[in-house]
Amino acid sequence: MGGMFTWKGRFGPMDLDLSEHTFSPSTVSVLMADALEVEAGDTVIDAGCGSGILSIIAAKLGASRVVGIDIARDTVAVASSNAAKYGVGDVTEFYQGDLFEALPEDIEADVVIGDVSGIPDELAAESGWFPGRSGGGPRGSELPIRMLEGVRQILRPGGRVFLPTGTLQDENAIVSNARELLDRVTKLVERRIPIPNALAESQAAMDLVKRRVIELTPSGSRFTWTARVWVGARP
């Protein structure tokens, strides 16, 4: 393992094992955890599971089966270790792969957690937030939209998708696609989050703001961006 992260969000504190390839939980992870609703007996798919923290929370909320998937190396070892440590190893399973491609063919979910990487690639490379230095595509919307397009193959009618978006990506494109593909798309929560000045003032960020791909808001001597969590249902 490459290190430890202390989760202080829902059901925390939890000391999570990470590897050098694991995306560390973020403020968006905390927002997702707080917004997540799971009913007893649900099957949950956690796309972009990383350390497995949202899978662990879904299991603690009563899911009978939680299946996490992430493209990062060491996903299975890291997430499985964390789930076992916090008592939900018996209802969780993890796979490595691109979005839903590596999942069991017969799986049908009641809930999809769609917390996939979603900032523009050039901003991701500058940020240092992502072990692989890549984001969600040139506009930060391509990967989340591809995730939404794959949901119909794995989500039961009436099943729900929990989706984070933010002004560090082409948010309008993601929400528009969600409304085309899902019913009753509703905003659950939003929060303004500070962004480091060095990143806000980088050439990559300034170019993306100029092209109206991302939006940053001045706040005193700093800049902020706005994160949101949505829920929608499969028709």
- The dotted CATH code for 3-233 is 3.40.50.150
Q: What pLDDT was estimated at residue 113?
A: 98
User: What residues does each domain of the chain span?
Assistant: 3-233
Q: What pLDDT was estimated at residue 1?
A: 47
Q: How many CB atoms lie within 10 A of CB 130?
A: 18
Q: Which residue, chain included where needed, has tokens 């018996």? A: 90
Q: What pLDDT was estimated at residue 133?
A: 66
Q: What pLDDT was estimated at residue 131?
A: 81
Interatomic CA distance for residues 72 and 146, integer angstroms: 17
Of the candidates 26, 32, 35, the residue with the CA atom closest to the CA atom of residue 7:
26
Antiparallel, parallel or unpaired: β 43-47 and 65-70: parallel
Antiparallel, parallel or unpaired: β 43-47 and 109-114: parallel
Q: pLDDT (tens digit, 9 = 90+) per residue, 169-208?
A: 999 999 999 999 999 999 999 999 999 999 999 999 999 9
Please state whether the predicted TM-score (pTM) of the whole model is above 0.85. yes
Q: What pLDDT was estimated at residue 136?
A: 93
Contacts of 63 (CB under 8 A, 6+ apart): 38, 41, 42, 43, 44, 91, 111
Contacts of 84 (CB under 8 A, 6+ apart): none
Q: Which residue, chain included where needed, has tokens 């691109």? A: 98
Q: Which amino acid is at 218?
A: P
Which residues does the chain have with pLDDT short of 70? 1-2, 133
Interatomic CA distance for residues 38 and 58, integer angstroms: 6
Interatomic CA distance for residues 121 and 139, integer angstroms: 7
Interatomic CA distance for residues 225 and 25, integer angstroms: 17
Q: What pLDDT was estimated at residue 105?
A: 87
* Alpha carbon separation from 72 to 44, 78, 220 (Å, rounded): 20, 10, 37
Contacts of 232 (CB under 8 A, 6+ apart): 160, 161, 163, 178, 179, 181, 182, 183, 184, 185, 186
SS3 category, 5: strand
